[in-house]
Structure formats: C-alpha cells, structure tokens
Amino acid sequence: MTAPVPVVDAHLVVHHPGFTVETRFQVASGHVLALLGPNGAGKSTVLRALAGLLPAQGHLRVDGVDLLSVPAERRPVGFVFQDFLLFPHLTVVENVAFGPRCQGMPARQARRLALDLLTDMGVAEYARARPRTLSGGQQQRVALARALATRPRLLLLDEPMAALDADTRMSVRAMLRCRLTAFSGATVLVTHDPLDAMVLADRVLVLEDGVSVQEGTPGDVARRPRTDYVARLVGVNLYRGRAAGTRVQLAGPHGSAVALTVASPHDGEVFAAFPPHAVALYRERPHGSPRNTWLLTVDGVERFGPHVRVRLSGAVEVNADITAAALADLSLRPGDRVWAAVKATEVECYPV
C-alpha cells in the first residue's frame, strides 16, 4: 500500500520576540492532525501561521503549491475559532454564504450552497436566525459550515470544543468526527484535551516550548509517551533508563538505582511506561509470575473517575488506580507502606 499523498507539507519557523516556534509535519488527504501541548507551547502560533495571519519562514505546501507568501485571504484555508466568531448582524445562512460571495459566487448559488451545508450539519432550521439565538453546539455547527463553504483544502480548528459544556462536547465531537472524515482536504486541530486528540485525530503532534517533542498515531502517543507532559496528559507512569536484555536500570530519586523487568529485550537508553490500572497493591509482598515489586509509601489517595488513584513514592514514583473496594480492603492511609506490583508484560519499553 502506498502512503497517501500529503495535502499539506509544512516546515514553519515563526519568531516572536524571545520565543521561536519551529515545526514540521505533513497531513494527508482526509486526515486530521491534532496539535497538543501545554499553554504557551506555540499551538496557536502554528495555526495562525498556517492561516497567513502571522509571517513564517520555511515552507507551507498545500497540494504542492507553496503558500507562505500568499496573503491570508487568498489561501484555500478555512478557520473555526474557539468562540466561533460568527457575524452577529447576519443571519445563519448569510454567515455561511459570506465566504463564497466574497469569492465571487452569485448570491442565489451561495445561498443554495450554504443551505446544503447547514442541512449536512443538521442546523438548516436555524438558517434565518441570528447566531446569538443559537446554543453553543448549534453555533459550532454553523461555524464549521461557514469554514467549509469556501471549499478549503486546509481546515483549521482552534480548540473547537472549548466553549461547549460537557454534554454538548460529546455530541459535537461525534459530529465533527463524521464531518472531518468526509472532508477531502487536510485538517489541523489545536486542543488541550487528549480525548479530542484521541477521538478526532489520525495523528498527534505534541509541541512543548516551541518544538515538536513527539508525533505519532493517538494510540502510539498514549501507549508510548516521550515526555512527562504527555505521560501526565494520557495518565501513564513514565520512566527513563538503560536496558540490558529484559532488565532496565532506572535512575531513582537521590541517585539511587532501581531495576525494572520488561517482557522483551532491549539495549541502551529506553523509556518504560505502564498505566496506573496495571499496578496492583498488596499489604504482603506478592509472589508469582515475572513482576516488578516495590515497597512504597502512600502519598495521597483521590477519587479518579470510577476508581481511586493512589500516589506512591519511594524507590520509584508510581500512580496506581484501584477500585474503591480494594482501597477499603487495604485500608490505605497516607504514610502507609504498601507493596506495588506490575507484571513485566504490562510495561511498554521503547528506545529513547
């Protein structure tokens, strides 16, 4: 199978006073790239450079044509902003028809196109309403219809779910997934929310401090984080160490060394990661299949969804997710000593 032809091939360098953002990526036809990263990492800077709202160096090829010197209004780019930015004085259908009209489409045809798109998004019944009379989820659909109306090849979504409440977010996320799959151009999505990235994106690019620190499929990024930020975001215990066969020597706190057994042999500098639900806790030292056991101290216990997250420290720092029933059986309190065990087969090990 040949790789899909990229719609977008970008190498962008943007200088702010005292801060530079540099990133390279490709996005294939029909694919979504999520830009994930902490506050101030440079995500919006990349999005604004793609839209032509900020000058950038490097290249931005869309369907093979470099757009970096093309002004924003002539780029085949659609933008959905965080707070939608619909024109308040225009009706919903006029909002959507606005872009095609600016491109020279006759009024009747632009209106027809706008109504078709609003029908696609399931909001045609609000065509004659003003945007402010619509709910956040409905405005989001109108904003997406407006962005698609100019037939962009590159669609930019800036935190498209940030202004929505949790319930609306879920239905809009499902709608977006469906619409983006049908879109033949490329989509770049900025988000803080790993769930958005996991559900909506084909690939994830993590930006920290203006540089790309990791790129991969959502599954790969979630299973094999490469920085503490990504590990925290996806809720995984992450360590770095030196492997020799199935033994990985971790650098523990205060210069101590801790060994971790993994299932498949490696050599050299590696990351080792395992999810909190892979950690079992015992009052007595456990025995059995190849596993890693550490006697650790309970630092804290907090509710985490349907589970309880136990924060442990000692030779290693570990988060463990256990059931409320298991917590009651163990009767754990901060300061208690407890055995933590992780099977070797539960540890993902991968080169640095």
Ligand X SMILES: Nc1ncnc2c1ncn2[C@@H]1O[C@H](COP(=O)(O)OP(=O)(O)OP(=O)(O)O)[C@@H](O)[C@H]1O
Residues at the interface with ligand X (CB under 6 A): 16-17, 19, 37, 39-45
Query: Closest CB to ligand X among 38 and 136?
Result: 38
Give the whole-angstrom CA distance, residue 166 versus residue 288: 43
SS (H, E, C) 189-204: EEECCHHHHHHHCCEE
Report, in Å, the least distance between residue 233 CB and ligand X.
13
Report, in Å, the least distance between residue 317 CB and ligand X.
27
Report, in Å, the least distance between residue 39 CB and ligand X.
4
Query: Closest CB to ligand X among 47 and 114?
Result: 47
Give the whole-angstrom CA distance, residue 75 versus residue 67: 7
What phi and psi values does residue 337 have, to the nearest 5 degrees?
A: -100, 135
Query: Closest CB to ligand X among 12 and 347?
Result: 12
Report, in Å, the least distance between residue 169 CB and ligand X.
17
Query: Closest CB to ligand X among 19 and 87?
Result: 19
172: left (phi over 0), alpha (psi -120 to 50) or beta: alpha
Degrees to nearest 5, angle at CA 217 with 26 and 280: 160
Contact 260/248 with Cβ under 8 angstroms?
A: yes
Q: Which helix (H) or strand (E) holds 188?
A: strand 186-191
Report, in Å, the least distance between residue 154 CB and ligand X.
18
Give the whole-angstrom CA distance, residue 345 versus residue 348: 8
Between helix 92-102 and helix 136-149 the angle, nearest 10°, is 20
DSSP 132: G
The token duo for 111 is: 């209106």
DSSP 340: E
DSSP 269: E
Query: Closest CB to ligand X among 41 and 145?
Result: 41
263, 208, 266: which is closest to 241 by C-alpha? 266
Report, in Å, the least distance between residue 273 CB and ligand X.
24
β partners of residue 251: 257
Report, in Å, the least distance between residue 309 CB and ligand X.
25
Report, in Å, the least distance between residue 149 CB and ligand X.
26
Query: Closest CB to ligand X among 161 and 243?
Result: 161
Query: Closest CB to ligand X among 43 and 141?
Result: 43
Query: Closest CB to ligand X among 158 and 346?
Result: 158
